[in-house]
Chain A
Amino acid sequence: MEKRVRFKGLWLPLLLVMPQLLITAVFFFYPAGQAIWQSLFIPDPFGLSMRYVGLGNFEFLLSDPFYRASFVTTAVFSILVTLVSMGVALYLAVLADRLIKGSGTYRTLLIWPYAVAPAVAGVLWLFMFNTRVGVVTWYLGVLGYDWNHVLNQGEAMGLVVVASAWGRISYNFLFFLAGLQAIPRSVIEAAAIDGARFWTRFRTIVFPLLSPTTFFLLVVNIVYAFFETFGVIHTITSGGPQQATTILVYKVYADGFVGQDLGSSAAQSVILLVIVGILTIIQFKYIERRVHY
């Protein structure tokens, strides 16, 4: 049985949890409350007065074609980032798992990109693909391809996806590698003797046994793509061209701080809050239980 300490009285336990409660209150409940409060008003541009509009901001947002488009953009962006970062990471992890010599070095080198801040990563990729001086752009030009993500929406999306996924590969790689190494060697050998070749083994044994890891990473990566890619998008495309890379989080910033429409920005934050809530519930419900086998 677990040993539990029981406190008599109320003050000591309250005092002990107070720091955590304070931090949560100051940095989470207060801003969240503010966002919900502000989403019900339209302030004037100077912040001198506020007009109560009820759910007007939400009504406007949900009928706004730009906001709806941003939802689609976000969906496309997160799915691509998740697929690319997890796909590449899984491939590298499978290769590293087969490696006998030098796997430590290989692993260390692969972890490095994780240490690069998103904004810095964004700048790196921006320079490589700069339409005038970018190295990659130049080589693509030699091959006869005219790269211009400033004008081409698809190329802009491609670039922010690659830049966002790149830093994420290391993180996913570590989890996948740990997951692969936790699969007993003898199970793989048994499958080999049962007649399964590499690809069949991967499909029927390795991948199913890796599913708790995959599922965990899926949620974590979607959350990442939703909320933590602001720096990359801000440095590379600033949401453009023509809002082609304006994901929801970027739109909160663009509408609120650039467009000064604080009421709408607040309403958008509330919508994001709900989305995070749902993702977190999914994560807790399925990941904590690990019911897969």
Chain B
Amino acid sequence: MATVSLQGLKKSFGKTDVIHDVEIDIADGEFIVIVGPSGCGKSTLLRMVAGLETVSAGEVRIGDRQVNDVEPMDRDIAMVFQNYALYPHMSVFDNMAYGLKIAKVPRSEIEARVAVAAKLLQLEPYLQRRPRELSGGQRQRVAMGRAIVRKPAVFLFDEPLSNLDAKLRVQMRLEIKQLQRDLGVTSLYVTHDQVEAMTLADRMIVMNGGVADQIGAPLEVYANPATAFVAGFIGSPPTNFLDASTFAPGAPQGAQLGIRPEHVVLSGDGTGHRAKVLYAEPLGAESLIYARLESGDNITIRQDGALPTPAEGETVSVAWDKDEEMQFAKDGRRI
């Protein structure tokens, strides 16, 4: 149980800066998700907290201790890796007990702790098996078990679900959330999947090119993106970006107008902007309609599945509430 604090954290490899000035104070027991596209520095950030990468500038604090130069083993953390990183020559039991054995925990207590974790993760029948005899989901659980038995102050997850199939991923996502709630351990979780980020996070850090574009609760980030990148990255289908000079007269030069697909409606009365339907995707509960405005901008409309879907090539008129508009300056910042 500990707080984690990153202050002015920077990382550069040679002359290339990969992390610029990340700042966040994480409360005890909070679940933080670091989300962003490939190469945005999210894994590097996590590895800096783990102590697997050196800190170029700024500081990492775990609890009330500055840990910049503390070895990973002395940071009281546990990490779950993307490829699970299980010890292939050890049984499931030994994999989970490894850290405890090194810490010279008494045998009886090791057995007790592993038994508890195995029960929690439904791994009891597999304790004597080797990792290669397990399925992907089971290996994932072993990796989690290995983290749990050590009772660390902080859990670090590096894309733990990305090697699983879609169905298992949804199931494990729920289990991780539940587990973190029950154990109340401060967690940092890296993912490129915005759905994972939205569902798991107490707060999320949206990373873009080494910069933390926005830090906040998922719904707050969704409703109120700080930059055009965040608006585009969080939410599926992504936010529509339109040329502000056409649709919002008076906006600064080069500005963009963002409007979420669910806020765009087909106006039956012919008011609004004319657009030609390119194609429509009825998904059952909802329909996605892709259309091209007369200005040349493409726009996606998300509407209830019960509403009539226009045919391809049909000309419709689209409208949205001015209050839902988001304006972004040329550099991507929200105005």
Contacts and interface: CB of A to CB of B under 8 A. Distances in A.
A184 B99 contact: no
Interface stretch (B32-40, B78-86, B172-180, B274-282): B78-86
A192 interface: yes
Given A187-B85, A189-B72, A209-B89, A194 B50 contact: no
Given A184-B83, A293-B130, A189 B52 contact: yes
Contacts of A204: 98
A189 B87 contact: no
Contacts of B52: 189, 192-193
B89 A190 contact: no
Contacts of A184: 83, 85
A196 B85 contact: no
Query: Chain B CB within 10 Å — which of A189, A197, A200 has the most?
Result: A189
A61 B43 CA distance: 68
Contact of B102 (A196, A209, A211, A293): A196
Contacts of A292: 89
Contacts, number: 65
B130 A192 contact: no
Contact of A187 (B77, B87, B132): B87
A116 to B, nearest CB: 37
B99 A189 contact: no
Contacts of A208: 89
Contacts of B166: none
Nearest to B74: A195
B98 A193 contact: no
B307 interface: no
Contacts of A209: 88-89
Interface in A140-191: 184, 186-187, 189-191
A196 B73 contact: yes
Interface in A60-107: none
A211 B88 CA distance: 12
A105 to B, nearest CB: 20
Contacts of B85: 184, 186-187, 189-190
Contacts of B132: 293
Interface in B80-138: 81-83, 85-89, 98-99, 102-103, 130, 132
B73 A197 contact: yes
A192 B130 CA distance: 21
A195 B99 CA distance: 6
B139 interface: no
Given A187-B87, A193-B77, A200 B130 contact: no
Given A187-B87, A189-B81, 6 more contacts: A190-B79, A191-B87, A204-B98, A211-B89, A293-B89, A293-B130
